[in-house]
Structure 1
Amino acid sequence: MKGKFFPDERFRGYSWKGLQKDLISGIIVGIIAIPLGMAFAIASGVKPEYGIYTTIIAGIFISLFGGSKFQIGGPTGAFIPILFGIVMSYGYENLLVAGFMAGIILVLMGVFKLGSLIKYIPRPVTIGFTTGIAITIFTGQITNFLGLTGVENKESFISKMAEIFRHLYTINMYSVITAVICLVIILVTTKLLPKVPGSLLGLIVSTVIAASFFPGEVATIGSAYGEIPNSLPKLSFPDIDLATMKNLIGPAFVIALLGGIESLLSAVVADGMTNSRHNSNKELIGQGIANIVTPLFGGIPATGAIARTATNIKSGAVSPISGVIHGIAVLLVLMIFAPFASHIPLASLAPVLMIVAWNMSERHVFSYILITRTSDSVVLVVTFLLTVFVDLTTAVEVGLLLAVLLFTKRMIDVQVIAKALPNVTSKKVETQIVQEGHDCPQITIYNVEGPLFFGVAQNFQQTILASIKHKPKVLLLRMSRVPFIDVTGESHLSSIVRDFSKHGTVLISGLNSQPKEILKKTGLYDIIGEEHFYEHTGDALKDALARIEQTKCIGCSHFAFRECSAYSQDSGIVPEKKQVFTVVSH
């Protein structure tokens, strides 16, 4: 059973020994995934078995078709707010449609190689909505933790909290005792026995205690949702029409974006733990295939699960086979032990999700970004507040838009468009030495620094045209520190060239590869003339000095260049105490 039988490079060098390791790690992760799958489903507003179906189907398909060797896929806490909102607004059937559409979007993202782009979503945005999701999950479990009755499901955070406060008088101490027992077992197990699945142990012990000492006093999965079937449902295609697709395209896109982010973050964590490298675009395709198939069996959207993936690695996994075994293990448990799962108290599931929320809250990173008091802090807080008080879709949209706007402002702030002259002392062309009475009337030099894009292009054009009204013979643009030009920047540069070329010559030095490529594609490179582009400023200045009218130098007292002394000698002016500047090679 060597790697040659597997065309997928993730299985290269696979052996029976590797299968043994994958078998152990897959069973361990499968045991951990069972309570989480049910808890995530219930918190998303659907029946617990749908979380189990997702764990099985998505877990197997993500491992088979993804781009990471160690990724464990399934339902995750990150999806809870968006899935709950879809169920409340559109119903469970339309949730299946949204998940199916999200799968198609993910596949397309992978096919068009957008995997690397998702990595560039600003960290304040991801931390903001992740922490907001954690708050939503945690507060959403207060009802089950306290055993409150009569509480209606509300999509709005404020309405949800108000509903909880109105029903605090219905608190069930048996539920609180059950929840506290489960919580303590999880915390103690995590601390003292890290290899033991604390959430499963907590569920079992608290369930046994509740059933033995106060039977019928706490709500259970069976009393709230009925018996859990011990088999997978039949394959069924959701009803999809254009009107439904139009209504769900927004939620589907958010599911796809969130799933893509979560899965790639998980894959990066796996890479760091194993010194391996995942294929981001293939991972998106695998996630997409899983989310296309899972709704056909009634499952909810799935993505890569960071905690379960890390556990998979720590348990000794060596290939994606461990993820397949994890799905099969959950299927076997479903077939054998499904009737017993109905006796699990909802109060026992509450601390499981609260621990998940606490672990995913990114509280340390959140506080770190917050105390910087920069524009990143603004993006973080806005994304966080919108996630909690509005919805995840709005939070992601506004967070990304705000991040783009603030980034644009930063680029504008660092932009330098200033007149310059050579400094004989530093041997550089500098801006601070240009003064009134000390600026060559025939050669105008500009230092241009920073990207030349839509945010600064107009200011770039206006600044230069406003300062060359005296119509010098040569305009030299030093652009070695311009890493990027977009179409807007090129358009404004073209306007400068056309305007200035009516009476003078434009020279450009140090042009980088990306700006040069843009100018060639638009034809501006040929309009300026290849002979007017120089790698070094010194060569460009020699050309510029050769183009001036020396008769106009007679009587000039600026002495901007070394040659000025000779050009103005007929006037009898001596450059006394004037800095004499030389042509530099920079």
Structure 2
Amino acid sequence: MSSFEFDRRQYLKMFEPKLLTVLREGYGLQAFKADAIAGLTVAIVALPLAMALAIASGTTPEKGLHTAIVAGFLISALGGSRVQIGGPTAAFIPVVFVVIQKFGYGGLILCTLLAGLMLIGAGLLRLGTLMKYMPQPVITGFTAGIAVSIFSSQVKDALGLQMQEVPAKFFARWAAYAQHIGTTRPAALALTVLGLVAIFGLRKWKPKWPGFLIALLLGTLAALALGLPAETIGSRFGDLPSALPDFHFPHIPFERTFELLPSAFTIAFLAGVESLLSAVVADGMTGGRHRSNGELVAQGVANVGSALFGGLPATGAIARTATNIRSGGRTPVAGMLHAAYLLVFMLVLAPLMRYVPLAALSAVLLVVAWNMSEFENFRNTLSAPKGDRLVLLLTFFLTVFFDLTIAIEAGIVVAAFVFMFRMAEAVEISSGVRMIDDDLRPGDPSREIDIQQRTRLPKGVEAYQIGGPLFFGAANRLDNLLDQFFETPKVLILRMRLVPVIDASGVHALRKLAERCHRKGIVLIVSGLQEQPNRVIARMKLEESPGELHFASDFDHAVRLAQRIAAPHPSAQAT
């Protein structure tokens, strides 16, 4: 077999759907039962979200359902993750709302088609791995900004304001709210409060119950029983179609393609980042490993499919994916069944959905906005070095006050300049230093030193050394560290005496490594922290946890600590 043929086979392997992998491994009745239950659970969660997200995006609720059905099925059937659940997500609301206002729904269809083709191209060019290098402050900044935008978009329905169109721009929107604040409907406000109390109350007392759906049911029953004068899905949009989504969409303004390219790029970027972040979270929960480039291709195909059925942009949804895993879903069949359940719900329940109050749907989206804000993560990043804070706040404010496309571009550019500045400061310190010294040539003096040091390690203890700045471009090197062991150690010593600088992404990577070690029963010891990494880690509250994470002043201290941890328990020796 030639090397070309081998490379081609390896290349094609990256795009093989996980569904085929599962079927090849063997798929039985027990697995189907687990997937059927998980798919039903996710569908119950996705039903109100799909409608609410579509309405918030400036279109009709059935568009959200069609997207969840078509794109959700394709993402699970063709994707590179075993448990990814796809559909419309809150991240798209600001950009979709603006596109519909400027170019009409036909413009959005073209945007979604272009974004799908971009995602397919990115996957085929193997750009999926580059998504790992996205600076964490940029992600946190635009995610929090989107959360503020979603909150801002829901004030009209939450208060029942008597106004026509909601302006797309942030300041104009709030000026319009201020002008119409006197038209607040007490009934709408009461239904919004009821929905919020129901959702947060169920999260505290019955976290496994479908809070969003129960909030909608309570709001609908309250509005009908008390005859509340609240606007509903039926009063604004009419009856929902109780039929299969058909292969039909409005006129597409191809002549405006170049005008739509920036928005299409933003949709593709958001879909790629959110889907791969969701897949990484899923890997952490299941212990699996997704195919990032195959996932991008599947996301692209799903967005093209959604557009051809008149749907919205779609991507992997972190919350719905986590719900799938917690409910027992372990194969792509669960996601495919979730789409099938949604189709059944739409066909059967469409006549009843007209009675759902918009204020109740608004309560659902207000909670979604709070979840997206990741307030604790945002606050922690504000304790990061000045450059990370600048990137975070710049991305956040540009997302809220101007445009998401500009925010992402500016955030990445400024992050790159911050990186270059840090590299200029650290170049003398890091010259000739390896990132992880586990690949040394025979005769290398450092190799002899490492061999001497490794002979001092007790049984069940492993040690790795990092050299050079641990920043967003290098933080992902820690992801595969635990996969290098033939036998899982009891203790891992991570030597950081040669790390002069660490940023928010580096601390995030260390936190994730500590969590992975804990799940595998490994105690992590970080040794030899220099002044700047020690200060940043302390400010970002990555703290010592006995039996999970320890900090040692130097390697000798770390070895003594590892000896105590790895030593057999006296009771075990006695037996």
Structure 1 length as normaliser, TM-score?
0.69
Q: In the alignment, residue 361 of structure 1 is paired with which amino acid?
A: S
Secondary structure of the residue aligned to 1:415 is: helix
Write the mapping of 1:63-74 to structure 2, written as runs, cut at 5 A.
63-74=76-87
User: 1:305 is matched with which residue: 290, 311, 317?
Assistant: 317
Q: In the alignment, residue 226 of structure 1 is paired with which amino acid?
A: G
Encode CA deviations 1:100-157: one digit per residue, 9 max, x unaligned: 1100110111111100001111000000000000011112111111111115311111
Match of 1:321 in 2: 333
1:285 maps onto 2:285 in alignment: no
Q: In the alignment, residue 216 of structure 2 is paired with which amino acid?
A: L
| Count of aligned residue pairs for this structure pair | 420
Match of 1:340 in 2: 352
Higher helix share: 2
Cα deviation for residue 416 of structure 1 reads 2.9
Contact 2:38 2:324 in 1 (8 A): yes
Write the mapping of 1:90-109 to structure 2, written as runs, cut at 5 A.
90-109=103-122
Cα deviation for residue 340 of structure 1 reads 0.6
With over 3 angstroms needed to count, the CA separation of the structure-2 counterparts of 1:228 and 1:240, relative to structure 1, is: closer
Whole-angstrom CA distance in 2 between matches of 1:89 and 1:277: 40
Match of 1:273 in 2: 285
User: 1:172 is matched with which residue: 185, 204, 208?
Assistant: 185
With over 3 angstroms needed to count, the CA separation of the structure-2 counterparts of 1:95 and 1:178, relative to structure 1, is: same
Secondary structure of the residue aligned to 1:372 is: coil
Q: In the alignment, residue 219 of structure 1 is paired with which amino acid?
A: E
User: 1:122 is matched with which residue: 132, 135, 153?
Assistant: 135
RMSD between aligned residues: 2.2
Match of 1:398 in 2: 410
1:385 maps onto 2:397 in alignment: yes
Whole-angstrom CA distance in 1 between matches of 2:127 and 2:251: 29
Whole-angstrom CA distance in 2 between matches of 1:193 and 1:297: 37
Q: In the alignment, residue 201 of structure 2 is paired with which amino acid?
A: V
State percent identity of aligned pairs: 45
Cα deviation for residue 247 of structure 1 reads 1.4
Contact 1:152 1:163 in 2 (8 A): no
Contact 1:63 1:71 in 2 (8 A): yes
Whole-angstrom CA distance in 1 between matches of 2:132 and 2:153: 30
Match of 1:522 in 2: none
1:148 maps onto 2:168 in alignment: no
Q: In the alignment, residue 133 of structure 1 is paired with which amino acid?
A: I
1:9 maps onto 2:24 in alignment: no
Whole-angstrom CA distance in 1 between matches of 2:411 and 2:41: 38
Cα deviation for residue 353 of structure 1 reads 0.4
Secondary structure of the residue aligned to 1:416 is: helix
Contact 1:129 1:387 in 2 (8 A): yes
Whole-angstrom CA distance in 2 between matches of 1:383 and 1:115: 22
Gaps of 5+ in 1: 419-426, 429-448, 452-480, 482-586
Match of 2:525 in 1: none
Secondary structure of the residue aligned to 1:371 is: coil
Contact 2:116 2:301 in 1 (8 A): yes
With over 3 angstroms needed to count, the CA separation of the structure-2 counterparts of 1:241 and 1:225, relative to structure 1, is: closer
With over 3 angstroms needed to count, the CA separation of the structure-2 counterparts of 1:270 and 1:224, relative to structure 1, is: same
Whole-angstrom CA distance in 2 between matches of 1:152 and 1:318: 43
With over 3 angstroms needed to count, the CA separation of the structure-2 counterparts of 1:394 and 1:15, relative to structure 1, is: same
Cα deviation for residue 236 of structure 1 reads 2.6
Whole-angstrom CA distance in 2 between matches of 1:381 and 1:251: 22
Cα deviation for residue 232 of structure 1 reads 2.5
Whole-angstrom CA distance in 1 between matches of 2:184 and 2:123: 48
Match of 1:89 in 2: 102
Cα deviation for residue 206 of structure 1 reads 1.0
Contact 1:151 1:164 in 2 (8 A): no
Whole-angstrom CA distance in 2 between matches of 1:222 and 1:284: 37
Contact 1:131 1:362 in 2 (8 A): yes
Cα deviation for residue 17 of structure 1 reads 0.4
Match of 1:365 in 2: 377
Gaps of 5+ in 2: 1-16, 431-444, 447-466, 470-497, 499-575
With over 3 angstroms needed to count, the CA separation of the structure-2 counterparts of 1:7 and 1:350, relative to structure 1, is: closer
Bigger radius of gyration among the two? 1
Match of 2:203 in 1: 190
Match of 1:233 in 2: 245
Whole-angstrom CA distance in 2 between matches of 1:234 and 1:58: 14
Write the mapping of 1:408-423 to structure 2, written as runs, cut at 5 A.
408-416=420-428
Cα deviation for residue 410 of structure 1 reads 1.4
Q: In the alignment, residue 56 of structure 1 is paired with which amino acid?
A: I
1:259 maps onto 2:271 in alignment: yes
With over 3 angstroms needed to count, the CA separation of the structure-2 counterparts of 1:222 and 1:15, relative to structure 1, is: same
Whole-angstrom CA distance in 1 between matches of 2:137 and 2:129: 18
Whole-angstrom CA distance in 2 between matches of 1:213 and 1:317: 40
Cα deviation for residue 187 of structure 1 reads 1.0
Whole-angstrom CA distance in 2 between matches of 1:7 and 1:310: 19
Segments ≥4 residues shifted beyond 4 Å: 237-242
Match of 1:136 in 2: 149
Contact 2:40 2:338 in 1 (8 A): yes
Encode CA deviations 1:537-582: one digit per residue, 9 max, x unaligned: xxxxxxxxxxxxxxxxxxxxxxxxxxxxxxxxxxxxxxxxxxxxxx
With over 3 angstroms needed to count, the CA separation of the structure-2 counterparts of 1:149 and 1:414, relative to structure 1, is: same
Contact 1:55 1:327 in 2 (8 A): yes
User: 1:159 is matched with which residue: 172, 185, 198?
Assistant: 172
Match of 2:126 in 1: 113
